[in-house]
Amino acid sequence: MPADYHTHTPLCRHAEGEPEAYIDAAIAAGLTEYGISDHAPMLPEPFDDWRMFEAELPEYYNWIERARARAVGRLEVRAGLECDWLPGCEKWIQNLSERYAWDYLIGSVHYLGGWDFDNPKWLGRWAESDVEHVWAEYWKSYAAMAESGSFDILGHPDLVKKFAYRPTGDLDRFYEPVIDAIATSGAVIELNTAGWHKPCEEAYPAPRFLELARSAGIGLVISSDAHTPGDVARDFPAAIQLAKAAGYTETVLFHQRRRRVESL
């Protein structure tokens, strides 16, 4: 099985389980490596109710070390953060990148302005929104995130579809400029299986986006976005088949922000 690099901890306030249980699940799944990448702190605090606080970072480091102690001799455990891309965040991301010996940083777009559009709390706002405009703003932000060069992995590329709101017509008009930005940045994308369990009922990203990414030479990791031990490596066999159908033959591994590839 490929590595699973996008996983969470209870510090984000919407996940559960102890590090030992996650490691046991990762070993049972036969993963190549297991990565921990909880939602990074954001300033000013409290920023929202689904991430750790800055003062909790030492507790996060301890969580990672507990996972490594459980996995010693059986599985490599990698350390990461899932960082939100927001206007003007670059200095804060750089600050966070120096706090620990991270193996990778994941960049994600969860916010458009002050709206965390994937939060079920604000689902009603979608019905009042111009979906075409929301998608245009989302992909503009995603391209800017890629162009920043701050991240090793770009998370769930089309998260904007989570609640199954999609514009009409050919979506390549959104995809193609972003594919160019990602390819130029050198970052890899993730094939995130959590989307199969959301209203969109489709992994992130859509098969067409995946095909374009492969054609552009963009690297790939496969991730579960686990919030419980039972989520670890969820749907990986189906994700591997989806990746292969798009033309991928290998996935990327990270260690101390350096990469290598392994065959799918």
pLDDT digits (tens, 9 = 90+) for 157-170: 999 999 999 999 99
Sorted by sequence, the CB contacts under 8 Å of residue 137 that are 6+ apart come out as: 112
pLDDT at 84: 98
User: Which pair of tokens denotes residue 95?
Assistant: 């600050």
State the residue for tokens 């301890």. 62
* 3 in Cβ contact with 37 (< 8 Å): no
| CA–CA dist 23, 7 (Å, integer) | 11
Strand bridging mode 153-154 / 104-108: parallel
* Integer Cα distance of 249 and 264 in angstroms: 5
Round to whole Å and give the CA distance between 49 and 156: 20
The tokens describing 44, both together, are 């000013």
- Grouped pLDDT means (10 residues each) for the chain, 264 residues: 98 98 98 98 97 98 98 98 96 98 98 97 96 98 98 98 98 98 98 98 98 98 98 98 98 98 96
pLDDT of residue 139: 98
Distance in angstroms (rounded) separating the CA atoms of residues 136 and 41: 27
Bond preceding residue 46 cis, omega within 30 of 0: yes
pLDDT for 2: 97
Sequence-distant (6+) residues with CB within 8 A of 100 are 57, 61, 79
What homologous superfamily does CATH list for 10-263?
Answer: Metal-dependent hydrolases (3.20.20.140)
pTM of this prediction? Answer: 0.98
DSSP 8-class letter at 113? T
Measured CA to CA, the distance from residue 127 to residue 100 in angstroms comes to: 41
Q: Tell me what pLDDT residue 62 has.
A: 98
How far apart CA 168 and CA 180 sit, in angstroms, is: 22
**Nearest by Cα to 251 from 243, 238, 262, 260:** 262
Phi, psi for residue 207 in degrees, rounded to 5? -55, -40
Give percent helix, percent strand, percent coil of the chain, each to the nearest 5: 40, 20, 40
Structure tokens given for 256: 């101390």
Q: Between vectors from CA 257 to CA 253 and to CA 263, what angle results, nearest 5°?
A: 15
Is 7 in a helix, a strand, or coil?
strand
Beta bridge partners of 80: 37, 104
Tokens of 158: 């089309």
